[in-house]
Amino acid sequence: MEPTSEAELADLISSAKAPLCIRGGGTRLLGPIEGEVLETSGLQGISLYESGALTMVAGAGTTLDEIGAALKAENQRLAFEPPDLRDVLGTTGASTIGGVAASNASGSRRISVGACRDFMLGVRFVDGAGIVAKNGGRVMKNVTGYDLVKLMSGAFGTLGVLSEVSLKVMPKVEMQLCLRIEGLNAKQAVAAMSAALGSPFEVSGAAQALDGAVVLRLEGFDASVRYRADKLTQVLAGFGTVEMLDDQAQCDTLWRDIRDARGFTGSTGDLWRVSVKPSDAPELIDTLGAHAVLLDWGGGLMWVDMPKRADLRARMSVPGHATLMRSDDKGFEQVARFHPEAAPLAKISAELRARFDPKGILNPGLMGDVA
């Protein structure tokens, strides 16, 4: 099913009696979902773009490519840099802004500017009963009523199918520089990243790549970036030799690979995405028995390549949560994709799902039980 209008989407959902597999472009799928496919790609088009107000409103099915092209023409960008997961998840198709919003897809700049949800100004959606509702709007500051925008962002379609999103966009930066330190273990790497992120020098990316190198990104006006790079090099002197990369294309590629976890493309293990307090990451790495780990967000985001069927959560010794991103069908059958919540939160989430999806048809089973 590919509705071409919000009204058609509402009709389809209100008359549906069986589970639906909700997707935008299908590039961020976390394993198989039972049900007839309902794609939002027909809800297409940018309906408003005011570059002077840093605001864009687009149909949920609008592709990231189209949005990127419109932004580029005004020298702007999505500051939360949504990852492109096609390579690593082995999916094809065109990512949509609705899919980005529904999965709260946030890249390396999460640690400085915020996540996708922090840039979402408003949503329109159709709930599981076929009722159309909106929340938020298209202005930067809005506390009028409850913030369902946040609730819908990251709900993976289980509370409603997004039909339109409005976003805060940001100006592109003049340039970027990367600092690189080799030869650090995870504990030293997190310490170095913490020192950088705890400085006044506005680091917009802090990762330990699969080759073990710690990389830090600085962005802005040329003179400012160079000044901060010098200062930061002094801050990090105790951690090893600090190499500076200023080839823009090389920096782009480096951060694209980290953002998209490309190093795990074609690897044979189960791929997990783990969110923890950064200083807990090294200890966790010691207990996981993983094939390989990529640290982003200063250590707070771990991409973990685990032996097949090894339940990473059973080995988690620290607070946080883990999402199973990639496995085979059997793996997805055996292990819940999302981290089981503590009982009182699981109850609230299940009741929310029952209320917003009374027929239990929106990506059922993807995120957890329905009350």
Verify binding: residue 7, other proteins, rule CB under 8 A.
no
d(C-alpha 95, C-alpha 107), whole Å? 15
Nearer to other proteins, 1 or 352 (CB): 352
Helix (H) or strand (E) holding 243: strand 242-245
- Taking the least distance from each CB to other proteins, the nearer of 2 and 369 is 369
Residue 312 C-beta: closest distance to other proteins, Å: 13
Q: Is 146 in the site for other proteins (CB under 8 A)?
A: yes
DSSP string, 42-71: TS--EEEEEGGGTEEEEETT-BHHHHHHHH
Smallest Cα–Cα separation from 155: which of 106, 118, 104, 96?
104
Q: Does 265 bind other proteins (CB under 8 A)?
A: no
Segment interacting with other proteins (CB under 8 A) among 23-31, 38-46, 146-154, 251-259 = 146-154
Give every CB contact of residue 64 below 8 A, 6+ residues apart in sequence: 82, 84, 94, 95, 96, 97, 100
Using only C-alpha atoms, the chain has a radius of gyration, in whole angstroms, of 21
Q: Find the binding residues for other proteins in span 276-295 (CB under 8 A).
A: 276-279
Does 42 bind other proteins (CB under 8 A)? Our answer is no
Q: How far apart are CA 248 and CA 177, in angstroms?
A: 8
Nearer to other proteins, 125 or 264 (CB): 125
User: Shortest gap between Cβ of 369 and other proteins (angstroms)?
Assistant: 11
Report helix, strand or coil for 237: helix
Q: What order do you get walking across the sheet with 55-59 strand by strand?
A: 46-50, 55-59, 161-168, 120-126, 132-136
- For residue 11, state whether it binds other proteins (rule: CB under 8 A): no
Size of the site for other proteins (CB under 8 A): 84
User: By the 8 A CB rule, do 89 and 325 touch?
Assistant: yes
> Which CB, 178 or 284, lies closer to other proteins?
284
| Interface positions, 187-206, toward other proteins (CB under 8 A) | 191, 194, 197-200
Q: Is 320 in the site for other proteins (CB under 8 A)?
A: yes
Residue holding tokens 């990451």?
281
**Does residue 131 belong to the site contacting other proteins (CB under 8 A)?**
yes
Q: Tell me the closest approach of the beta carbon of residue 347 to other proteins, in angstroms.
A: 9
104 makes contact with other proteins (CB under 8 A):
yes
Among 117, 259, 262, 326, binds other proteins (CB under 8 A): 117
53 lines the binding site for other proteins (CB under 8 A): yes
Closest approach of Cβ 348 to other proteins, in Å? 6
Stretch 54-73 residues interacting with other proteins (CB under 8 A): 54-55
Crossing angle for the helix pair 186-197 and 281-288, to the nearest 10 degrees = 160
Beta bridge partners of 296: 301
- Does residue number 259 form part of the binding site for other proteins (CB under 8 A)? no
| Under 8 Å between Cβ of 275 and 301 | yes
Give the nearer residue to other proteins in terms of CB position, either 150 or 256: 150
Of the candidate residues 44, 91, 142, 188, the single one contacting other proteins (CB under 8 A): 142
Using alpha carbons, select from 301, 292, 351 the residue that is nearest to residue 323: 301
Q: Does 267 bind other proteins (CB under 8 A)?
A: no
- Asked if 238 interacts with other proteins (CB under 8 A), we say no
